[in-house]
Amino acid sequence: MSAPPVTLAPEAIPTQLVDRFGRTVRDLRISVTDRCNLRCTYCMPEHGLQWLPSPQLLSAAEIARLARLAVERLGVERIRLTGGEPLLRRDLEEIVAAVSTLRTRRTGTKPDIGLTTNGLGLDKRAAGLRAAGLDRVNVSIDALAPEQYAAVTRRDRLEDVLRGVAGAQAAGLDPIKVNAVALPADLAERAPQLLAQCLRRRWRLRFIEHMPLGPRGSWRAEDVVDAAHVLDVLKRAGFSLTPLGRPDRRPAALWEVAAGVGPDGQEYPAGQVGVIASVTAPFCTDCDRTRLTADGRLLTCLFSSTETDLRGPMRAGADDEELIRIWAAATWAKPRAHGSDDPQAGDSGFTLPARTMSAIGG
Ligand code: SAM
Ligand code: SF4
């Protein structure tokens, strides 16, 4: 009697993105372009940055396909579109609409869709983006005095940005979060003014510690304004702050701000302020993020020196399962913390990635 044929069990196809340290990815940041219409000093050099040639950028359909795998096959629940400046993509509404047709595995609802933008042109796009399914926006505003804003962004565009945020608010995008990098210049004046104005407009302000992700040589550990210093500046300006911790172990530590009178003598209502201490207190142990660059490379960490190509296999005809395996294998190898697995990490403990923040997608 001949032996029954041996059937090999098919290799299991991953159903989530987990790493060696037990973290599970729930949050995908997709950079949709490396281009930008500002030149923030902490992010881009003034001149000389080469843009990716258009054929190298993922198309809207390619982004939609990878987002579908992430959400419907791999357990991702939040998608954030970023860049470069994502509003420079004319098909951003199409991308948002495609992502909003997806259904998360856990709740069967659409993923939470956020946009990180500098706000330029947002007034004209906000209603369309909201109709396409966008839930929230984070707008980067480092100063509310035009000359200070221009000094940081190298462009005199503050008025346009404020028009953009007003448009987002009018379109019902809520909450509006404002990101400000904690830079030393004029901090004692800039930070209290920003906070008072954001409280009045009901925008949620978060200061971010300056990370070494801008032009090479533009960052020095000794210049980093840490979270404690930002809080000290705010307290000295008269803000009464009560710590709320890091709700849901998200990157921002929050403080409740009591109502008061701002540096301009005008009242502000009670609200909150956040500080993201990505340099002095990195949240790597709670990290549930992964990143996709505009040219289709996976980065498991902002500071990763390893990139995993998804665009090449996708354009060579890889099926969904092959892409899922590549994605899961890259995630498994995610480093424990910034630069921690890299012998080249400098004294700061950071490995410097090959790309600047604008090309990674913040
Ligand atoms: N252009 C959009 C914007 O400015 O919001 C999206 C891309 S930008 C790279 C995303 C976020 O990264 C912004 O909030 C920006 O302030 C932040 N960022 C850029 N370079 C940074 C750095 N070196 N350290 C900390 N945050 C940085
Ligand atoms: Fe452009 Fe955003 Fe970078 Fe500023 S932070 S240069 S707006 S990508």
Q: Which of the 8 DSSP states describes residue 24?
A: B
Residue 251 above 90 pLDDT?
no
Per the DSSP assignment, residues forming a β-bridge with 242 are: 256
- CA 221, chain centre distance (Å): 22
Nearest to 20 by CA among 341, 249, 308, 339: 341
Distance 84 CA to ligand 1 centre (A): 9
Give the integer Cα–Cα distance in Å for 299 and 316.
21
Three-point CA angle 246, 248, 249, nearest 5°: 55
Q: Report the separation in Å between the CA atom of 116 and the middle of ligand 2, taken as the mean of its atom positions.
A: 10
Please give the distance of CA 327 from its chain centroid, rounded to a whole number: 19
- Write out residues with Cβ below 6 Å of ligand 1: 36, 42-43, 82-83, 85, 116-118, 140, 179, 181, 208, 210-211, 213-214, 357-358, 362
Pocket test for ligand 2, best of 141, 153, 160, 302 (most atoms within 8 A of CB): 153
d(CA 148, CA 145): 5
Helix or strand run (H / E) with residue 317: none
Give per-residue pLDDT as tens, 309-358: 999 999 999 999 999 999 999 999 998 887 544 445 554 555 666 666 76
Token pair 């009018």 in the structure block, residue: 170
2 confidence band (pLDDT: 50, 70, 90) = low
Highest mean pLDDT, choosing among 38-52, 89-103, 240-254, 298-312: 89-103
More confident call, 279 vs 313: 313
The alpha helices in the chain, defined as continuous H runs, are 60-68, 92-100, 122-132, 146-153, 158-170, 187-201, 227-236, 311-315, 320-332, 357-360
* Ligand 2 pocket residue status of 38, Cβ below 6 Å: yes
299-313 average pLDDT score = 91
pLDDT tens string 145-172? 999 999 999 999 999 999 999 999 999 9
Distance 91 CA to ligand 1 centre (A): 22
Instruction: Return d(Cα 341, Cα 329) in angstroms, integer.
Output: 17
Task: Please give the pLDDT value at position 8.
Answer: 58
Residue 223: per-residue pLDDT: 80
**What tokens does 130 get?**
């909201």
Strands 204-209 and 176-182: parallel
Q: Is the CB of 358 under 6 A from ligand 2?
A: yes
Share of the chain above pLDDT 70, in %: 91
Per domain, the residue ranges of the chain are 2-360
- At 6-29, the pLDDT tens digits run 665 567 899 999 999 999 999 999
How far apart CA 164 and CA 38 sit, in angstroms, is 15
Give the three-class secondary structure for 117: strand
Q: 311 Cβ partners below 8 Å, 6+ apart?
A: 56, 58, 62, 295, 296, 297
Q: Residues 66, 71, 74, 76: is their CA dihedral positive or negative?
A: positive
What is the rounded radius of gyration, in angstroms, for the C-alpha atoms of the chain?
21
Question: Mean pLDDT over all residues of the chain?
Answer: 91
pLDDT for the residue 153: 97
Q: How many other C-beta atoms are found inside a 10 Å radius of the C-beta of residue 43?
A: 25
Q: How far apart are CA 27 and CA 41, in angstroms?
A: 27
Determine how β-strand 78-82 pairs with β-strand 112-117: parallel
Would you say the CB of residue 83 lies under 6 angstroms from ligand 2?
A: yes
Confidence of residue 260 (pLDDT cuts 50, 70, 90): very high
CATH number for the segment(s) 2-360: 3.20.20.70
Start-to-end CA span in the chain (Å): 65
